[in-house]
Chains A and B, each alone.
Chain A
Amino acid sequence: MPVSNDELRGLYYYANLVRQVDERCRRLFKQGRFHGTYFSAVGQEATVVGPCYGLRPDDVIGIQHREIGAVITKGMPIRYLMAQLFARQDSPDKGKSHPCHYGWKPAGIITPASTIAAQTVIVTGCALAWKIQKKDNVTIAFVGEGATSNGVWHEALNFAGVHKLACVFVVQDNLWAESVPKRLGVPVDNLSERARAYGFPGVTIDGNDMIQTYETSQEAIRRARRGDGPTLIEMKTYRWYGHSEIDPANYRTQEELEAWKKKDPVPRFERVLMERGIIDEAYKQSTLQKIEREIEEAIEFAEKSPHPDPSSLMEDVYAPLA
């Protein structure tokens, strides 16, 4: 199915929105406007916008701290995302969890914990439930290549393979698991090879090519939705900044970083759309202005939101016992 111009413009909007929000969040943290830390995914936009664009609200995504782009594309309003970073009352987690543990029930985004790969296990359980309920929802579980070394990731993919669950497993191979290089984490170049061991297809693609991440994901989502089982998609990409904003990332070379910055997925996608005449300079400017307004509105919302009431410390520990 060829990608329509409307879809391409939609992807363009989210690619830019995600990029702009991410860069602004970094700046807000550096300005001391929120505490803790911030996990940027700048450079990796295509690995999340492509898979999440066009999902249904009742589809579920499994995310971790770096999936801000997945969260935005799946439909979490950025004002609530900002309220979460600012740990305010209007944060969906009411200030309980962590700045980058985004969750938003109306859009099927499950608030994560910090154990890496756990999100894959949880959303695979969602897919089991849909099989029992005879529903055609799908889930996409995002991890970095580092998480694939965790035993629980294997347990989830194995189970999904046995029961042919409606799962798309996305591995964002960004070459670094925090500070540990890929060569010390996994003994194969292409992690998609692992899919064979679970009895479903695996594919490795250019994770900085928006059209490719979208088309490949769409095919995997259609396959999952019609009951044909999971797909593993490995997307080669790179994170520009440190593991979080308190990490100078001096374990890698400037040359490596510069080489990847030349493959920046956002302007690369923009060039394709310009060349095809799908967008023009005026469209670009109006899109960026719209995004700027949305971000300003979101920050204002978050900063005006009150801090959680101290008395809410013990709220939501238990549901009523009886």
Chain B
Amino acid sequence: MKTMEPTTAPPAAAPDVKTMTLIEAITQGLHEEMERDERIFLIGEDIASYGGVFKATRGLYEKFGPLRVIDSPISENFLVQGMVGAAIVGLIPSPEIQFDDFISLAVDGIVEHAAKMRYRSGGMFTCPMVIRCCCGAAVGGGLFHSQFNASWFMHAPGLVVVAPSNPYDAKGLLKSAFRGQNPVLYYEHKRLYRTVKGPVPQHDYTVPLGKASVVREGSHVTVVSYALMLQRSLEAAEKLAAEGIEVEVIDLRTLAPYDKETILASVEKTARAVVVYESSRTMGVGAEIGAMIAEDGFSFLDAPVRRVSPPDAPQEPFAPVLADQYLPDANRIAQAIRDTVAY
């Protein structure tokens, strides 16, 4: 039983590796990509001299100027859909959706235009763009500053959906997103911005899109998760290690199109799977992963695939006593894993 760094991460002691927070890794990634490729520009609400409401775009306006870091009017639809046009004529736009709770206003641009542009034009037009979107509960944001709607966008073929759980992946996935030809919805969990630290190389590197990562090896049960729930799953795995339960933890990293092979290879080994995700329960990420394992890995299973998620409440409520009931914590995740192993 051993705890591993994300499989591709270097040791923290390497000479050009710095320990950074997740938000620092994102900001650094944006600086480096904008230096590397002058076609990249950012547009969003409060992102220019203000540096973004969470300061993810700090320093970029000063360095790259008003034509490459653009404060937008409060026009979420234009922010995304307009940038489809900018991508078509040769730039690489990166619109920022300030909170995932506002993304509903931009769904037409994301789903009907960005995601479908390549298909609907028979490949004539491509739409390389990186839609950065701040998401997630556990910061006291209430119903409308806490959402994490990634599963909506897993139902939009043509769109790549990414949700890093650690600084190394955050920077590496961001770079891959900027270097491809697909529209990428890049989720940044606000609870993780400053609570997770890790090694980040200062040389150029990428993390591949569409590849999950086995972040902890184990033989008794597979846990599939991403973003904040991945970090809590790791906490749960650590608790269970003391009880003799060896948990294999898979970080999806890319939610769409996701890495079936890594999940199935793990479930073939462990025969048990738990999916831990942050959204209301029904038709969430667990529905797809669970159904896929049931369909393609049925013969591997010794127990039903279990889902751990918030309930079907609209979102994490504002009152702390209610909020505490919402997101799964490490104890709830651990209990679900125990139940699965004991089945």
Assess whether A148 is interfacial by the CB under 8 Å rule. Answer: no
A126-183 interface with B by 8 A CB criterion: 126-133, 137, 151-152, 155-156, 158-159, 162
Contacts of B157 in A (CB 8 A): 317-318
- Is the pair B91, A133 in contact by a Cβ cutoff of 8 Å? yes
CA distance A152 to B106 in the complex (A): 10
Q: Contact: B85 with A152, CB < 8 Å?
A: no
Interface centre among B86, B93, B125, B160 (most CB of A within 10 A): B86
Which residues of B have CB within 8 Å of A97?
A: 120-122
Task: For A137, list chain B residues within 8 Å (CB).
Answer: 89
B89 x A115 contact (CB < 8 A): no
Q: Which residue of B is nearest A163, CB measured?
A: B70
CA A91 – CA B124 in complex, angstroms? 11
Given the known A-B contacts A319-B118, A322-B209, are A152 and B108 also in contact in the complex, defined by CB atoms under 8 Å? yes
Chain A CB within 8 A of B208 CB: yes
A123 at the interface (CB under 8 A from B): yes
What per-residue 1/0 map shows which CB atoms of A92-114 lie under 8 Å from chain B?
11111100010111000011011
Q: Which residue of B lies closest to A106 (CB)?
A: B124
Do B67 and A132 have beta carbons less than 8 Å apart?
yes
Interface residue? B51 (CB, 8 A) = no
Residues of A within 8 A of B81 (CB): 118, 121-122, 125, 152
> Shortest Cβ distance from B226 into chain A, in angstroms?
17
Looking across the interface, which residue of chain A has its beta carbon closest to that of B81? A121
A114 to B108, CA, bound (A): 10
Checking B82, B87, B90, B108 against A115 with a beta-carbon cut-off of 8 angstroms, the contacting residue is B108
What interface size band does chain A fall in? 35 or more
Q: Is residue B88 within 8 Å, beta carbon to beta carbon, of the partner chain?
A: yes
Is B41 an interface residue when CB atoms closer than 8 A count as contact?
yes
Which of B77, B88, B120 meets A121, CB within 8 Å? B77
Smallest distance from the beta carbon of A95 to chain B beta carbons, Å?
Answer: 8
Which of B79-120 touch A at CB < 8 Å?
81-91, 93, 108-109, 112-113, 116-120
A41 touches B (CB below 8 Å): no
A60 touches B (CB below 8 Å): yes
Bound CA span A97–B112, Å: 12
Contact A101 B86 (CB under 8 A): no
B84 near A111 with CB under 8 A, answer no
B53-84, CB < 8 A from A = 67-68, 70, 72-73, 75, 77-78, 81-84
A124 within 8 A of B: yes
Q: What residue of chain A has the Cβ atom nearest to residue B78's Cβ? A: A155
Which chain A residue shows the least CB distance to B72?
A159
Asked if B125 and A103 sit within 8 Å, CB to CB, the answer is yes
A133 to B78, CA, bound (A): 19
Q: Are B85 and A91 in contact (CB under 8 A)?
A: no
Kindly supply a per-residue 1/0 record for chain A positions 294-322, scoring 1 wherever the CB is within 8 Å of any chain B CB and 0 otherwise.
Answer: 00000000000000000000011111111
The reply to whether the CB of B164 lies closer than 8 angstroms to some CB of chain A is no
Contact: A129 with B77, CB < 8 Å?
no
A75 CB, nearest partner CB in chain B, Å: 14
In the assembled complex, the Cα of A123 lies from the Cα of B89 at a distance in Å of 10
A151 to B83, CA, bound (A): 17
Nearest-neighbour CB distance to chain B for A49, whole angstroms, equals 24
Asked if A110 contacts B123 (CB within 8 A), the reply is no
**Interface-central residue, A125, A128, A129, A315, by most chain B CB under 10 Å:** A125
Chain A residues with Cβ below 8 Å from B86 are 125-126, 128-129, 132
Nearest Cβ on chain B to A79's Cβ, whole angstroms? 15
Q: With a CB–CB cut-off of 8 A, which chain A residues contact B117?
A: 111
The residue in A110, A124, A132, A162 that gathers the most chain B C-beta atoms within 10 A of its C-beta is: A132
CB distance from B38 to the nearest CB of A (A): 9
A92 shortest CB reach to chain B, Å? 6
Q: How far is A132 from B92 in the complex, measured between Cα atoms in Å?
A: 11
In the complex, are the beta carbons of A316 and B123 less than 8 A apart? yes
The interface residues of chain B lying within 8 Å CB-to-CB of A152 are 77-78, 81, 108
Most buried by A among B67, B89, B119: B89
* Distance in Å: Cβ of B86 to nearest Cβ of chain A: 4
Nearest-Cβ distance from residue B124 to partner chain A, whole angstroms: 4
Chain B residues whose C-beta falls within 8 Å of the C-beta of A126 in the assembled complex: 85-86, 88-89
Distance from B109 Cβ to chain A, minimum over Cβ atoms (Å):
7
A201→B122 CA distance, assembly (Å): 37
Q: Complex formed: what's the CA distance from A294 to B2 in Å?
A: 73
Bound: A321/B180 CA distance, A:
7
A321 contact set on B, CB distance < 8 A: 160, 180, 182, 208-210, 257
Q: Which residues of A contact B158 (CB under 8 A)?
A: 317-318
Q: Identify 5 residue pairs between A and B in the complex whose beta-carbon atoms are under 8 Å apart, listed by A's number.
A: A94-B122, A103-B124, A103-B125, A318-B157, A321-B210
Residues of B within 8 A of A (CB): 41, 67-68, 70, 72-73, 75, 77-78, 81-91, 93, 108-109, 112-113, 116-126, 157-158, 160, 176, 180-182, 208-210, 257
* A-B residue pairs, 6 tightest by C-beta: A125-B85, A125-B82, A319-B181, A94-B122, A129-B86, A122-B85
Which of A's residues lie within 8 Å of B, judged by CB? 60, 91-97, 101, 103-105, 110-111, 113-115, 118, 121-133, 137, 151-152, 155-156, 158-159, 162, 315-322
Additional A-B contacts beyond A159-B73, A321-B180, A321-B257 (4; CB < 8 A): A93-B121, A118-B109, A316-B118, A319-B126
